[in-house]
Amino acid sequence: MNTECLVCQAKTVKQIVGKFKPEPRQAKEFFTKADYIITNSKSLSAPYISLLLHRLAKKTFATENLYADEKKEANELLYSQYENWQTLVNEAKNPLHLAAKLSVIGNIIDYGAHSVPDDILAEIETLLKKEFAIDDRCKMFDAINKAKSVLYIGDNAGEIVFDKLFIETLKHPNLTFVVRDEPIINDVTLQDANSIGLQDVCTVISNGHDAPSTLLENCSENLQSLFESADVVISKGQGNFEGLLNEKRVNLFFLLMTKCDLMANKLGVKKRDLVITENKRGNYGL
């Protein structure tokens, strides 16, 4: 954690209060408890502090799914255009490259990073014209073509519509998609994945934990085993990047849009850049 992370966490707290609009007494209580978490958790990772804050919000505002409406709307919006995206990909000069790019572009739908545009479809069209800052697609496809098993770690609802299209285009016979065990921000759960038929194109499993990231030491033994044994691991989103950037394993690929200067600097790119990068095996300047 550093100052930039702390500022972002404080912004998240204000966003939650703005969303639920509690009575002044309840708002004050939530702010006090959230401030205690932020102030006394500087030795923890940013994703874990975010987990604690959102668990507090669930308890305070008596809901297990803080962004249920937003997740449903994002899934429905993007899935309503699924046939159009399919046609665009199938008619592309290189369908796999375009499907992978759409998957990364979908990472804009992230309430935890305060990066959801007002007009999602318009922003997608704009980003389709944007070049990658780091583009290891060819390395990734080469590794996948040689792989007997692929583990694909998902990130957010809405975004998963493009993940489904990418997986459908890959046509890998042994691909497992990973979701969060419980609702956290707008991260994808089994319910979100099933609502767009993701289970029709791959195996879908829970990671056994509810952090807005993949913190392997907290995940299920099954997920840990699959992470070690899979020939290729695809990690979607900045949250998963933050949780896995110290991993040493080969054939780990990060697909994301950078949401903050701190993570952008670690990757050597700019904020809001599109990135597909092979893992540097923990060498991100930490």
- In whole angstroms, what separates CA 158 from the centre of its chain? 11
d(CA 180, CA 214): 9
pLDDT value at position 42?
Answer: 76
- pLDDT tens-digit map of 207-239: 999 999 999 999 999 999 999 999 999 999 999
pLDDT, position 286: 46
What per-residue confidence (pLDDT) applies to 171? 96
Beta bridge partners of 278: 253
Full DSSP string of the chain: --HHHHHHHHHHHHHHHHHH---HHHHHHHHHHHHHHHHT-TTS-HHHHHHHHHHHHHHHTT-S-TTHHHHHHHHHHHHTTHHHHHHHHHTSSSHHHHHHHHHHHGGG--TTTT---SSHHHHHHHHTTSPPSEE-HHHHHHHHHH-S-EEEE--BTTHHHHHHHHHHHH--SSEEEEE-SS--TTB--HHHHHHTTGGGTSEEEE-S--SSS--GGGS-HHHHHHHHH-SEEEEEHHHHHHHHTT---SSEEEEEE--SHHHHHHHTS-TT-EEEEE--TT-S--
Give the angle 139-179-212 at the CA atoms, nearest 5°.
90
CA 259 to chain centre: 11
Estimate to the nearest angstrom the gap between the alpha carbon of 166 and the chain centroid: 15
Please give the pLDDT value at position 163: 98
Mean pLDDT of the chain, nearest integer: 94
What pLDDT was estimated at residue 270? 96
CA distance 166 to 151: 13
What is the structure's pLDDT at 3?
79
Question: pLDDT tier at 116 (50, 70, 90 boundaries)?
Answer: confident
* Percent of the chain residues past pLDDT 90, beyond the cut: 88
Round to whole Å and give the CA distance between 61 and 43. 27
Q: Is the pLDDT confidence value at 266 over 70?
A: yes
CA distance 200 to 284: 36
Report whether pLDDT(141) > 90: yes
> What pLDDT does residue 282 have?
57
For residue 85, how many other CB atoms are within 10 A of its CB? Answer: 20
Please say whether the beta carbons of 154 and 202 come within 8 A.
no
Per-residue pLDDT at 201 exceeds 90: yes
Report whether pLDDT(70) > 50: yes
**What's the rounded Cα separation, in Å, for the pair 105 and 256?**
8
For the chain, what percent of residues have pLDDT higher than 70? 98
Confidence bin at 246 (pLDDT 50/70/90): very high
Q: Closest by alpha carbon to 67, among 79, 50, 81?
A: 50
Strand partners, 4: none
Q: What is the pLDDT of residues 143-170, one digit of tens each?
A: 999 999 999 999 999 999 999 999 999 9
